[in-house]
Structure 1
Amino acid sequence: MERKEIYNYFLQSSGIATDNRKIQKDNLFVALKGDNFNGNKFALSAIENGAKFAIIDEAEYKIDDRFILVDNSLTALQDLANFHRNQLNITIIGLTGSNGKTTTKELIYAVLSQKFNTKATIGNLNNHIGVPLTLLSFDTSTEMGIVEMGANHQKEIEMLCEICQPDYGYITNFGKAHLEGFGGTEGVIKGKSELYQFLSSNNKTVFVNTDDSIQNEKTENLKRITFGYNAPNNFVNITNIETNPMVKIEFEDTTIQSHLIGLYNANNINAAVTIGKHFGVSNEKIKFGLENYIPNNNRSQLLEKNSNKIILDAYNANPSSMNAALTNFFQLEEQNKVAILGDMFELGNESSEEHNKLVAFCFHHEDIKFHFIGKDFFAHKNANTNMTFHETFESFQSAFPNQISENSFLLIKGSRGMSLERTLDLL
């Protein structure tokens, strides 16, 4: 079936759905498959729940003309998203990187939405399914689209770029994330740089933080818009950065006091400033957008619970983001500091070494109490009196009443699978 024909079905619908339990009236249901599910089996249920059409890829589930049979439902979804993107008069910014993608995306949205009808990836729907769904949420009224692209192996960013066809791109950083899939740090750099390759081959533009020497070098021959700290030759020169503990930056005649914790978030803010200025958002509106952005969803949140102050950064973790969060935590002038750190996942053969490095990184900070949680950290336990090691969260939970004193300042960080936000219920 031709893409244009499927697109006509999409135009008659009220939007895309991939879960038959979340159908809204006149949705176009797409029957996707996974290791443990087959969406074709739920196509009839989707129609009964209000879907107008259902895209399927197994002939036995085609009952009538409301069921659209294709060779592969996922490919059809991706092709549909690409076709839709090319019908819209819209500027798309593609965003990837090892750390900070979602926060940066939200900051860029906070700035651009001050001037344009802007839509962006919802949550972290940034994979081979999420990117098409993001594109299909854009419509003729959308002026700016921000598409977050995640990846855990080579060629994935390349494929996502082919679908969304970004006009601009930004890579937050190259860090030690998804090392197992990428095959090490060099693999991460190569995989994320597929965004640069797409933009270069299509004569498009990149935003670059020139303080990052690797990114600066990789983009020297590309069309680029640059920013940096004390870098007067750049398009945007950030003249001051402070964390106390919230990030404050200054550029030109403007001071922005954010609600974000940690020096590592300064670059995310600086990127949003740069992108806003390139698209003609005034300094006043950039300031308004960024100062009114409040982090949520366990990302760099500063909370208070009873007598304790908490940096909750438990959405995800890898060696790079953990190192940055701890470096910031060490520098904060607070009393009774406690770090609750969970295992870092998807590190492959480098997992043991990276967990050991992190324990060693904390070793000489005797003024801080460290609680390491998870089997990977537990394998590197030691007798340091300010460090405790728990193989499971349940073990930590059992010991918790004796672990945290009142008026403590806590950092809570670990991979998503550790669900360390559960610590809040113990306080």
Structure 2
Amino acid sequence: MITTEELYNHYLKNPIISTDTRNISEGCIFFALKGDNFNANEFAAQAIEKGAAFVVIDEKKHAKNQKCLLVADVLSALQDLARHHRKQLNIPVIGLTGSNGKTTSKELVNAVLAERYKTFATFGNLNNHIGVPLSILSIKSDVEIAVIEMGANHQKEIELLCTITQPTHGIITNVGMAHLDGFGGFEGVKKGKAELYTYLKGNNGYTFINRDNPYLMEMSDAAGLSKLIFYGTENGNTIKGSLKSSDPFIEVEWTNHEISSSVKTNLTGSYNFENILSAICIGDFFDMNPKEINSGLTNYEPKNNRSQLTKTESNTVICDFYNANPSSMSAALNNITVLTSDKKIAILGDMFELGPESEIQHQLIVEQASKSELNEIIFIGKYFYAFKDKCKGLFFETPNEAAAYLKEKPIKNNLVLLKGSRGMKLESLLEYL
């Protein structure tokens, strides 16, 4: 079997990694991963035919020639290769996790740092046990700072990802009611996310913390962190900020003890204020001046259906349907209620991975929405549908049923919040808005 060092020598000559035979590029290394319903070992020969330089497999019967590199376990080999590559990189690596705002924060931090440095940031949300190794292996030798997003839906996952990412700096955006099923409740969420703090403590890393968040302060105290850089709304922080406006786009005033500044962004949603402040704090830590920091924030355009304001022919839509959990759903509802518009509608889809908490969390969102002054509320999905006879609003079991309604009764000249879990595929409703 091939060793990690031998595999790394192949990687240095063929630094493109693929895990999907549909995306084979000439000269890549194909890792034949296994899943519940697939075994990519069976496609090793096909990957070579398509141009892969090597295929990494863990079933000897598929080793047809010298291009087939046999390992004990393909996933472990991928992760070990990423760990080995990470050790060769003598650069700051910022590990980033949290219940909400991970991807937006990662993009903002990268947008700021890229004003001065050659940066790498996780592409999209490749933030799991496969995506993080792929991200690390995409970091080239000329990169000066990397920002790696780490996601998790159960305990010990962040711990694993930290062994691959090996962050020198870290930030937890927040902790909220997300992936409650896998984490075993909110206390489990806190414990799971705090694994980043534990790693940073054990490896003498720096931690950026929102001092306004009591949960993060509690978790940092428990971890015994010492290299802390604070941001928040009060005096005494390295970066102090205030929300100047959020209707519809966010404008922030901030100071780093010496210089006061203000910045207008293209982000909507007051809940993004803390994400913006974290990017300012990290940019300031890496010796960037206010002009550079503000330029990165101003030029950032959200394009990932997270807090993205989109104007259609008929309405203005807050596209926030990449994912949803009770914390982010509640924040989105609070946000639309304070935005200026003559008519406002919320279209909300089910929230997934809540386990035993699902019923009560959906009920709380229904009650919050029903008490708001929105002109209309549309709930979609089986979890919300269970409350159709108990609260005001329109209820549909599927997006297709909601689409049929919107087609028959078009919405015009409204501010529309479109939010739900990724699995609800609410993007299918955009053409009717």
Fold shared per TM-score above 0.5 = yes
Match of 1:399 among 401, 405, 409: 405
Residue 206 of structure 2 is matched in structure 1 by 205
1:241-390 aligned within 5 A: 241-252=244-255, 253-382=260-389, 384=391, 387-390=393-396
Query: TM-score normalised to the size of structure 1?
Result: 0.97
Counting aligned pairs with the same residue, the percent is: 49
Q: Provide Cα deviations, 1:285-331, integer angstroms capped at 9, x if missing partner.
A: 11111101010121111111123111110100000000000011111
CA RMSD of aligned residues (A): 1.2
Q: Secondary structure at the match of 1:137?
A: coil
Q: Distance in 2 between matches of 1:97 and 1:383?
A: 33
Q: Distance in 1 between matches of 2:157 and 2:307?
A: 27
1:367 Cα offset (Å): 4.1
Unaligned runs of 5+ in 2: none
Residue 78 of structure 2 is matched in structure 1 by 77
Q: Provide Cα deviations, 1:205-241, integer angstroms capped at 9, x if missing partner.
A: 1100001011123224412100001x22111111444
1:22 Cα offset (Å): 1.0
Q: Distance in 1 between matches of 2:391 and 2:310?
A: 29
Residue 432 of structure 2 is matched in structure 1 by 426
Q: Secondary structure at the match of 1:126?
A: coil
Counterpart check, 1:33 vs 2:37: no
1:2 Cα offset (Å): 2.3
1:194-233 aligned within 5 A: 194-220=195-221, 221-222=224-225, 223-229=227-233, 231-233=234-236
- Contact kept, 8 Å, 2:211 with 2:230, in 1: the verdict is yes
- Contact kept, 8 Å, 1:89 with 1:140, in 2: the verdict is no
Residue 420 of structure 2 is matched in structure 1 by 414
Q: Distance in 2 between matches of 1:409 and 1:158?
A: 41
- Contact kept, 8 Å, 1:14 with 1:25, in 2: the verdict is no
Q: Secondary structure at the match of 2:345?
A: strand
1:184-195 aligned within 5 A: 184-195=185-196
Q: How many residues align?
A: 425
- Contact kept, 8 Å, 1:151 with 1:157, in 2: the verdict is yes
Q: Secondary structure at the match of 2:137?
A: helix
**Cα gap change, 1:79/1:119 in structure 2, threshold over 3 Å: closer, same or farther?**
same
The one-letter code of the counterpart of 2:324 is A
Unaligned runs of 5+ in 1: none
- Structure 1 stretches of 4+ moved >6 Å: none
Q: Provide Cα deviations, 1:358-396, integer angstroms capped at 9, x if missing partner.
A: 1111222244310000110000113655x1111111211
Q: Distance in 1 between matches of 2:49 and 2:356?
A: 48
Counterpart check, 1:42 vs 2:76: no
Q: Distance in 2 between matches of 1:195 and 1:121?
A: 17
The one-letter code of the counterpart of 1:331 is V
Counterpart check, 1:158 vs 2:159: yes
Q: Distance in 1 between matches of 2:406 and 2:269?
A: 26
Q: Distance in 1 between matches of 2:402 and 2:220?
A: 46
The one-letter code of the counterpart of 1:242 is S
- Contact kept, 8 Å, 1:18 with 1:31, in 2: the verdict is yes
